[in-house]
Structure 1
Amino acid sequence: MKLSKRSIYIYAVILLTIAVDQISKIVVRNNIVGRTNINPGERISVIGDAFILMNVENTGAFLGMGSDLNPTLRIILLLALPIIVLAFVLRHILKDKSLDNWSLFAFASIIGGGIANVYDRIVYGSVTDFFFIDLGGVFRTGIFNMADLSVTTGMIILVFMSFKKKKTEV
Structure 2
Amino acid sequence: MKLTKRSIYIILVIVLTIAVDQISKICVRNTIVGRTDIHPGERISLIGDAFILMNVENTGAFLGMGSDLNPTLRIILLLILPIVVLAFVLRHILKDTSLDNLSLFAFASIIGGGIANVYDRVVYGSVTDFFFIDLGGVFRTGVFNMADLSVTTGMIILVIMSFKKKEKEA
The alignment status of 1:164 with 2:164, answered yes or no, reads yes
Aligned identity (percent) is 89
Is the partner of 1:90 in helix, strand or coil?
helix
Output the CA distance in 2 between the equivalents of 1:40 and 1:114: 25
Contact 1:132 1:144 in 2 (8 A): yes
Counterpart position of 1:99? 99
Q: Which residue number corresponds to residue 108 of structure 1? A: 108
CA drift at 1:44: 1.4
Q: 1:163 to 1:70 in 2, by over 3 A?
A: same
- Are 2:40 and 2:56, in contact at CA under 8 Å, matched by a contact in 1? no
Which amino acid counterpart does residue 71 of structure 1 have in structure 2? P
The amino acid of 2:26's aligned partner reads I
SS in structure 2 at match of 1:26: helix
Contact preservation (8 Å) 1:33, 1:41:
no
Preserved CA contact (<8 Å) 1:24 1:146: yes
Structure 1 contact 129–143 (Cα < 8 Å) conserved: yes
- TM-score by length of structure 2 reads 0.95
Q: Distance in 1 between matches of 2:59 and 2:77?
A: 12
- The match for 1:59 is 59
Where does the alignment leave 5 or more consecutive residues of structure 2 unmatched?
Answer: none
Q: Post-superposition shift, 1:40?
A: 4.3
RMSD: 1.1
Task: Output the CA distance in 2 between the equivalents of 1:40 and 1:108.
Answer: 32
- Aligned twin of 1:139: 139
Q: What is the rounded CA distance, in whole Å, between the counterparts of 2:41 and 2:64 in structure 1?
A: 17
- Quote the residue 1:85 is aligned against: 85
Hey, what's the Cα distance between the residues in 2 that align with 1:57 and 1:50?
Answer: 21
Pairs within 5 Å for 1:19-38: 19-33=19-33
Instruction: List structure 1 runs of 4+ shifted beyond 6 angstroms.
Output: none
Aligned length: 166
Structure 1 residue 168, shift from structure 2 partner? 1.0
CA distance in 2, matches of 1:30, 1:42: 15
Residue 40 of structure 2 contacts residue 55 of structure 2 at CA under 8 Å; is this kept in 1?
no
The CA deviation at 1:43 is 2.0
CA apart distance, 1:2: 3.2
Give the structure-1-normalised TM-score: 0.95
For residues 83-135 of structure 1, the C-alpha deviation after alignment (integer angstroms, 9 at most, x for no partner) is 00000000000000100000000000000000000000000000000000000
Closer, same or farther: CA 41–143 of 1 in aligned 2, 3 Å: closer
Does 1:16 find its partner at 2:16?
yes
State the distance in 1 between where 2:40 and 2:24 align.
21
Kept in 1: contact 2:18–2:147 (CA 8 A):
yes
Q: Which runs of 5+ in 1 are unaligned?
A: none
Task: Output the CA distance in 2 between the equivalents of 1:11 and 1:108.
Answer: 8
